[in-house]
Structure 1
Amino acid sequence: MKKFFSLLGMAILGGAITLGGYKMFIDENVVVESIQPNSSSIIRTNYNPAFNTNSTAIDAATIDFTLAAERTVHSVVHVKNTAIRTQSSPLDIFFGNGNGTRKFEQVGTGSGVIISADGYIVTNNHVIDNANNIEITLNNNKKYEAELIGTDKNNDIALLKINADVDLPYTPFANSDTIKIGEWVLAVGNPYNLTSTVTAGIVSAKGRDLEGNGNIESFIQTDAAVNPGNSGGALVNTRGELVGINTAISSKTGSFIGYSFAVPSNIAKKIVDDLLEFGAVQEAILGISIDPEYKEDGVKVGEVFYEEGANNSQLKSGDIIKEVNNVKISKFSELKGQLTSKRPGDNLDVVIERGGELISKTIVLNKKNTFISESLGLSLKDLSDKELKKYNLKGGAKIIENINRTLAYYGVEKGYIITEINKRPVLNASEALKAIENTNMNAGIPLYIEVINLKGETERYAIR
Structure 2
Amino acid sequence: MKNLSVLINTVLLSSSIAMASLPVQAAMPQSLNGQTMPSLAPMLEQVTPGVVLISVRGTHEVQQRVPDAFKFFFGNPRQNQGQQKEREFRGLGSGVILDADKGYIVTNSHVINDADEIQITLKDGRQLEAKKIGGDEASDIALLQIVADDLIAVKFADSDRIRVGDFAVAIGSPFGLGQTVTSGIVSALGRSGLNIENYEDFIQTDAAINSGNSGGALINLRGELIGINTAILGPNGGNVGIGFAIPSNMVQNLVNQIIEFGEVRRGVLGVAGRSVTSEIAKAMELDVSQGGFVEQVTKDSAADEAGIRAGDVIIKINGKMIKTFNELRGKIGSIGAGKTIKITVIRKDGKEKTYDVTLKKSEMAKIEAVSLHRMLDGAELENDDKGNGIVVAEIAENSPAASVGLRKGDVINGINRQRINNIGELRSYLNDHKGVFALNVQRNNSSLFLMIR
* TM > 0.5 fold call: yes
Distance 1:197 1:309 in 2: 45
Select the residue among 56, 59, 63 that pairs with 1:81: 56
**Equivalent position of 2:106 in the other structure:** 122
The alpha carbon displacement at 1:154 in A equals 0.2
In structure 1, what is the equivalent of residue 311 of structure 2? Answer: 318
Of residues 323, 326, 334 in structure 2, which corresponds to 1:333? 326
SS state at 2:314 partner: strand
Check the 8 A contact 2:315/2:346 in 1, yes or no: yes
Whether 2:174 is the aligned partner of 1:191: answer yes
* Structure 1 vs Structure 2 CA RMSD: 3.1
1:303-340 C-alpha deviation (Å, 9 max, x unpaired): 11023997634000101112221111121233234313
* Change over 3 Å in CA distance of 1:35–1:156 after alignment to 2: farther
Q: 1:34 to 1:270 in 2, by over 3 A?
A: farther
> Is 1:33 matched up with 2:16?
no
C-alpha distance in 1 between matches for 2:214 and 2:97: 14
Residue 294 of structure 1 and its aligned partner are, at CA, apart by 4.3
Aligned AA for 1:59? Answer: I
- Give the corresponding residue for 1:66: 41
Equivalent residue number for residue 368 of structure 1: 362
Q: 1:219 deviation in Å?
A: 0.5
TM-fit CA distance, 1:234: 0.3
Counterpart among 198, 218, 225 of residue 215 in structure 1:
198
The offset of 1:292, in angstroms, is 5.0
Which is further off, 313-322 or 102-111? Answer: 102-111
Confirm whether residue 356 of structure 1 aligns to residue 350 of structure 2: yes
Unaligned 5+ segments in structure 2 are: 7-15, 28-39, 72-82, 279-288, 366-392, 395-407, 409-453
Q: Which residue of 2 is the match for residue 242 of structure 1? A: 225
TM-score, structure 1 as length reference: 0.63
CA distance in 1, matches of 2:119, 2:331: 33
Q: Secondary structure at the match of 1:204?
A: strand
Maintained 8 Å contact 1:68/1:236: no
Cα gap change, 1:183 to 1:308, in 2 (>3 Å): closer
> Bigger relative contact order, structure 1 or 2, given CA contacts below 8 A and separation 6+?
2
CA–CA distance in structure 2, aligned partners of residues 120 and 322 of structure 1: 35
Aligned ranges 1:111-260 → 2 under 5 Å: 111-118=94-101, 119-164=103-148, 166-260=149-243
**Corresponding residue number in structure 2 for 1:44:** none
Q: TM-score, normalised by structure 2?
A: 0.64
Deviations 1:394-431 (A, max 9, x none): x99xxxxxxxxxxxxxxxxxxxxxxxxxxxxxx9xxxx
- 2-structure distance, mates of 1:67, 1:239: 10
For residues 319 and 370 of structure 1, the distance between their equivalents in structure 2, rounded to whole angstroms, comes to: 27
Aligned 8 A contact 1:228 1:255 in 2? no
Q: Which amino acid counterpart does residue 146 of structure 1 have in structure 2?
A: A
User: Mean alpha-carbon deviation: is it higher for 66-75 or for 292-301?
Assistant: 292-301
Range with bigger deviation, 293-302 or 245-254: 293-302
Instruction: Name the amino acid aligned to 2:228.
Output: I
Contact 1:90 1:101 in 2 (8 A): no
Matches of 2:275 and 2:219, distance apart in 1: 34
Question: Percent of pairs identical after alignment?
Answer: 39
The DSSP-based 3-state class of the residue aligned with 2:252 is helix
Determine the C-alpha separation between the residues in 2 that align with 1:121 and 1:182.
28
SS in 1 for 2:332: helix
**Count of residues in correspondence between the two structures:** 318
Q: CA deviation at 1:370?
A: 7.3
Cα distance in 1 for partners of 2:61, 2:330 equals: 38
Compared CA separation, residues 160 and 308, structure 1 to 2 (3 A) = closer
